[in-house]
Amino acid sequence: MRTKVPRSGRLTRHYWYVGDSRGCDDGIGRAVVASAPNAIVALDRDQTVLSWNAAAERLFGWTAAELLGRRAPMVPEELTAEHNAVLERVRTGGQVSLRTRRFRRDGTLLDVRVDTSALRSSAGALLGYVSVYHLARDDESAHDEAARRAQLVRRLTDVVADINAERELPAVLDRIAASLTELTGADAGGFVLIEGDRLRLVATHRLPDSMRGSTADLRSSLVGKLLRTGRTVMLETGEQAALDELIWSRLPGLHTIALGLAAVGGRPYGALYALFAKRKASHLELELLELLAGHAGIAAGNAMAYQEAVWQRAHERAVFDASADGIAVLDEKGRVTQWNPAAAGLTGRTAADVIGGPPPFPLPEPGDKLTLQLASGAWLEVLCAEIVETGETVVDFRDITRAKELEEAKDLFLATTSHELRTPITVVRGFAGTLDARWDSMTDAERRAAVHTIAERARSLGQLMDHLLLGSRAGAGELTLRIEALDMGALIRAATLGLPVLSDLHRVEVDVASDLPPVSGDALATDIVLGQLLENAFKYSPDGGLIRVAAWREGDRVVVVVDDEGVGIAPASRERVFERFVQVDAGDRRRFGGVGLGLYIVRSLARAQGGEVTAHENAGGGTRMRLSLPIADTPSAHT
């Protein structure tokens, strides 16, 4: 309806007709009024009909075309004063709701309830009046339905209490199926369980017991259809042959299926069915079905939780005992009541030693974390959590010795790298500055010596950068190798050529078997490995001695050893030297510098070729480094 108030203050009338399409907003407003279930009548200030919707036509018998623009002859003469009083009341503000009577077109009187309010412009000017009508008996029906609903809900509460008292899941589901027919008046009912992509009938009422255990495809079933809609309740009607045959094909006269989804833990668990053959399902039955399905999920969840609790008690000791973390439980006085095997292994204290007393280390505040070192040297990370309900405290602790060592190794790596970089840079800077400032006053020999020193230090810096780059790539698993057949004897001879002249204190022996087969590997990577092993042999035998390189075949592999008579590696550190950033304290190795990446790179390159590098004690004192690579064209060469 469009209205406007001209400057004269008189109302210019526009009427609403179904099908009028003037303006999007007006169209929506007309659609709302036309679709309303109650009769809506709008009058202007002179009580001329401005709007008369389809529900008004059905209720009173007059069409909109007959009444628009004229007064509606629907108010009985004896109720005219009442009608005028209502209009006056709403004109001055407020809304009036009353039960009264109105004429139909055929002259019969209707008992109606009418709600009347003022029709005003956006500026607040009175344009007319709007009344909404519905039959008074509808109020009575609604009241009766509300009373019935309240009674059923009370019964539902009793049923739910009975269901939740059950502990066993099958009994719970049978009780739910029986309650369904009692509450909804359905002719039969059932509960189906969702098991992957299948449904299984697990409970029935008023259906043959032989049907229990029947299965059906989830996707093509009504449950699948309901899941795809995203709703929790659905009503399906049709011919019996068109309905799912899992349950209802044996119910004569079946015409309607009401379906409610049951969820456990927020996930679909199953579905509750009410089957109707003799009566119809109203919205109240659907509401009860939805409520009962929700309670079915809760009851099933409770039964499952009870069964799980029974199972949990049977297994919690095994889980407690199998935990890799140390776990202790303390009572409200801080005394140990439980102490698992891992706790005994980490602390060296058995359960018999500690139960009944305080734990053998300090504890953090609940929710905090404490790092501490035991007398054995092991580092522990300890966490506490308080169980408010029982007053107990759960203590969880784990061995972080390895992580602590790695953290210290990284700190050492940063310090060592800074030192290793600072020394050559300082030398290069000093000699370069000297050359720049005193070039003309220096002899040719002095200049050559300074340039040679700069070159040597630059080479050291380049080697250090190569190690850092290779270490980074190895740590990220980004080493790229070209695997091919290699002559290991030739590689060894090339790597050792010229070594004897590097030191007057060392003797170099090379012993390569004459029948050494080719190996599978990358030429550059293998050369780096050999070079690093030889460099270490010289570096860690500062007092000289024999450097021996030997190679032979051993099964499907070629073995290369580099022996020295130097400071050696303590047995406990022979694996750690291959880790990143590690420079062990054993022997006298720390004073030789480096960033702790050489042997890490060696092992990474060897393993990337299918080989291995290990450290051993040399029979003549010092260290033996052992490299093995697969022989070309053997199965291990392709791993």
Per-residue pLDDT tens over the stretch 293-311 = 877 777 776 766 666 666 6
Q: Is the pLDDT of residue 139 over 80?
A: no
pLDDT of residue 540: 87
Is the pLDDT assigned to residue 511 strictly greater than 90?
yes
Residue with tokens 């592999």: 557
**How far apart are alpha carbons 136 and 114 in whole angstroms?**
9
Task: Name the helix (H) or strand (E) containing 82.
Answer: helix 80-91
- Measure the CA–CA gap between 387 and 396, rounded to whole angstroms: 13
Other residues' Cβ atoms within 10 Å of the Cβ of residue 617: 14
pLDDT band at 22 (very low <50, low <70, confident <90, very high): very low
Of the ranges 182-191, 449-458, 506-515, the best mean pLDDT one: 506-515
Q: Specify the pLDDT at position 147.
A: 57
Return the closest-CA partner of residue 514 out of 485, 547, 492: 492
Q: Which residues contact 530 (CB under 8 A, 6 or more apart)?
A: 491, 492, 495, 560, 627
pLDDT-derived band at 184, boundaries 50, 70, 90: confident
Kindly tell me if the per-residue pLDDT of 87 is higher than 50.
Answer: yes
> pLDDT at residue 131 above 80?
yes
**Model confidence at 324: pLDDT above 60:** yes
pLDDT digits (tens, 9 = 90+) for 95-119: 888 888 999 999 999 988 899 999 9
**How much is the pTM?**
0.36
What integer pLDDT is reported at residue 454 of this predicted model? 84
Q: What per-residue confidence (pLDDT) applies to 231? A: 86
Q: Which pLDDT belongs to residue 519? A: 94
Which pLDDT does position 15 carry in this prediction? 55
133-137, 227-231, 241-245, 615-619: which range is least confident on average? 241-245
Q: Which helix (H) or strand (E) holds 31?
A: helix 24-35
**pLDDT at position 299, please?**
72
Report the chain's mean pLDDT, rounded to a whole number: 79
DSSP string of 193-235?
EEETTEEEEEEEESS-GGGTT-EEESTTSHHHHHHHHT-SEEE
Q: What is the pLDDT of residue 538?
A: 87
Q: Are 156 and 183 in contact (CB under 8 A)?
A: yes
Residue with the larger pLDDT of the pair 533 and 525: 533
Query: What is the mean pLDDT of the segment spanning 390-412?
Result: 77
pLDDT of 264 above 50: yes
User: Between these two residues, 153 and 587, which has the higher pLDDT value?
Assistant: 153
**Half-sphere exposure of 401 toward its Cβ, with a 13 Å CA cutoff?**
10
